[in-house]
Each structure stands twice: as structure tokens, then as C-alpha cells.
Amino acid sequence: MSADMTRTKTPQAVVASERGQPFPLNGRLENPSSVAEWTSVLVSDSLSGHSIGRENQIPSAEIKPEGRFPVVDQGQAFISGYCDEAARVIRNDLPLVVFGDHTRCFKYVDFPFILGADGTKVLKPKADLFDPKFFYFALRGLDIPNRGYNRHFTVLKERSLPRPPLAEQQKIAGALGLVQRAIVQQERLIALTTELIKVLLHQLFTQGLHGEPQKQTEIGPVPQSWEVVPLGSLAKVGNGSTPKRDNEGYWQGGTIPWLNSAKIHARFITEADQYVTDLAVKECHLPRVKPRSLLIAITGQGKTLGNSALVSFETCINQHLAYAQFISPKMVPEFVLWFMQTRYEHLRSISHAGGSTKGALTCGYLKTYPIPVPSLEEQREIAGVFASLDRKEKVHQRKHATLTALFRTLLHQLMTAQLRVHDLDLSELPEDLENTHNQQSELRHNDNLRSDP
């Protein structure tokens, strides 16, 4: 084992897939006596020549959203777009690693593709030194400091890679690849569930569940039996405020939950991060919003404005949130929440109506906002459909987070020989992959059922 291997910081790994964020690793071989056969190689010394040139590249302005051949560039998305020009396609020298000289992204490409021309480097390892997939994972582990939009290849090529025997490289790559495939499968399930929710939001809030004739209303077509009434006739609408931060009596030792608009993205808010005192509630006239009230972001930057969430506990809120505290017995709050998910873009457009750049909604406007009212039974059924999908989405998000952490740990421990590949037990992952395939089929089946006329 060379001195470089003990000195050089290793890896910084991208976790969720080729699109994750790097994290720093210690980088030293932790058990040198058991890895005497390991060496290290500079990245610059590990690279082989290839036949890829400018004729295989495409400027970003020429990339299309659809086409025959995928384009791989330095961006976060694995496939940036498509091109129809067969003459540009890279078919030889595969597999290859595409490195984003500005973005520090690594992408393992084992299929014919066209190379994005802006800021990409194509890396192919010497066959006698590295297994291609191990080479890719080892690169993903390198510590490459962020230099902004400056180029990073000069830094990369001076880094050292661990080099076990080829047979062990292949086993390490196989283990990491198995976890990576499980991560990608969870990403696909999350995307499928999200898309199914989007389709059903449109369908169920225009057609309902019973195949009724539709009527036109101010919110578009709805089933004939549904009413459409102002939110203010169903709920008390108001907003909150922020007690002065420099008054310790309002915040120190507070026990009453207080929410700001950062929590609105949770969809279902189950806990608070900040608390105020009884003095703050009294002197600042903070409303106490009851459980199962709807919260709406009435101001905000980026994607915040127009989002809605349901809160599960009594809480105070700030001035950037409005609340709708339901007083009507004919409403299921969860039904209203899911309806409001369909109104996100409309609310944002209203906040900028008349050329306004302020970007805000008012409680007065929200009181007049039209809400569909089917029977309680149909409300509960529709809310139940989305509750089931929401649970599935959260399960997949938790699995994704667990697998991401596993990948992160394995990349570190396998590349630094803290863990040897023969000590791994990943026997549950293939079963998980099979379950994922079955779940994908189930989601598609549910989508087809809901799409039937």
C-alpha cells in the first residue's frame, strides 16, 4: 500500500443516484494488514484513451425534449434530453463515465448516447487496472472541493483511487450496484405515486366517484349533485402574526406551538419546531388554530405561495399563513385539503392578478374562494383514496432514505477496507427489488382503473 493511499482523502459519495449530493469521507484504509494486495492509482494514471470527439457532442441549445437518442451532459438529471442525429451517437468504448467539469457529477453510461458539449469530460479506465463499474463508484467517492462554476477536472486527476484486485473490485461494484438499483427503484415508485396522485386529483375533483353527469361551475366541471360554496361559509378564516423576536417573554420557555410558512410543504403537519408563551398569545392576540384546520400560504418566495396543509394539533401561526377552521358539519377537512392541491397554480395566478408583483393572497379573498361540496360519504371516500396514496408515498420516501444511508455507509467502508465485501449480507435487497416491481405494477393497474370511463 502506497503512502498516497494513507494520506489522500477518499471519497465524497453521491448517495441517492447519479443526482445526489456529495459527502466527505475519511479516506484512509482502516485495516492495512488485511489489504496488503490493495494499491492506489492517480486518476490521471488510470485513464485510457477513447475515440470520442467533437462529432459526438451536441450544444445544449440543440438538445430536444424528445427524440431517438439520449443525451448525457453534466447536469443533475441523468438524461438531459434527446437528439435524432445518428451520426453523433457514441456506440464504441462503452461503458464510460461522464464527469461534469463544473458540476462534479459522475454518470456511468453503458448504452449508446450523445454527449452534451458543455463542461463534460469522458473517462474510461485502463482495463488492466480497474473494473469499469468499480472505477465509477471509486470516482463517486473522491473528495473534490466545490469551486463554484470553475472547472474541477484539474483537481480530479490529481486524486488517488483505491485499487483492490480486479476480482474484489467486481464484487464491491456488484454490492454497491445492488443497493443503487434498489434506490433507483424507490425513486421510480415515488415518481409513479406522485404522478398517480396528480392524475387522480384532476379526475376525482371533476368527475367524482359515481359517474354522474357534470355541470359547469366557477371551478370548472363537477358532478351534478355537488354544491359549490364559499370557503367562508364552511370555515372561520383568518391569519396570525409573529411576536417580536427581541422580547424573550414571548419565546423563552414557550410551550404553545407556532408555525411559519416553511412547514406548509409537509401537506400534513404533525409537529412544530417553534413555541411561544402564553404572554405572546395574550399580548399579540395570536389566534389558537384548532386541530384539522386548513393552512394556506398567502405570501412567500419560490414555490411556497399557494400551498396548503392540514394541521393535526392546536397551534398559532405567523402572518404569512391563513387558516380555515371548519365550522360546518358537512365538510371533511381532508377532502378540502386535497381539493386545494388542485388549486395551487390558480391561487398563485390570483396573487399576481392585475400586474401585481407583491405576490400575496388575502383572507378576504379566501373567504370567497369556491369549494366543492359532495355528500359526506363521497368526501370520505375521495379523501381515503388520497390518504392511501399518501401513505404509500411516505413509505417509499422512508425506504429511499434508508437505502441512501446504507449506500453512503457501504461506499465509505468498502472503499476504505473497513468492511470487506465477503462480510456483507444483502440478501434482503433482491426481495425488496421484486416487491418494488410488484408495487410498480399495482400502481399502474390502479391508474388504469381510475382512467376507465
Q: What is the pTM of this model?
A: 0.78
Amino acid at 406: L
447 closest CA partner among 195, 181, 178, 78: 195
Cβ distance 18 to 106 under 8 Å? yes
Residues counted in the chain: 453
Tens-digit pLDDT profile for residues 298-308: 997 778 999 99
Is the pLDDT at 95 greater than 70? The verdict is yes
Is the pLDDT at 6 greater than 90? The verdict is no
Mean pLDDT rounded to a whole number for the chain = 86
What the chain holds in terms of domains, given with CATH numbers, is: 227-373 (3.90.220.20)
Q: Count the Cβ atoms, other than its own, within 10 Å of residue 191.
A: 11
Query: How far is the C-alpha of 355 from the C-alpha of 292, rounded, in Å?
Result: 35
98 closest CA partner among 61, 73, 71, 80: 73
Looking at residue 21, what is its pLDDT? 33
130 closest CA partner among 43, 72, 37, 49: 43
How is residue 124 written as a grid cell? 474510461
Radius of gyration for the chain, computed over Cα atoms and rounded to the nearest angstrom: 27
Tens-digit pLDDT profile for residues 10-45: 232 332 333 333 333 334 444 544 577 899 999 999
Residue 19 burial (C-beta neighbours within 10 Å; 0-12, 13-18, 19+): middle
Q: Count the Cβ atoms, other than its own, within 10 Å of residue 312.
A: 13
169 closest CA partner among 305, 336, 41, 324: 41
Looking at residue 122, what is its pLDDT? 94
Tens-digit pLDDT profile for residues 227-272: 999 999 999 999 999 999 999 999 999 999 999 999 999 999 999 9
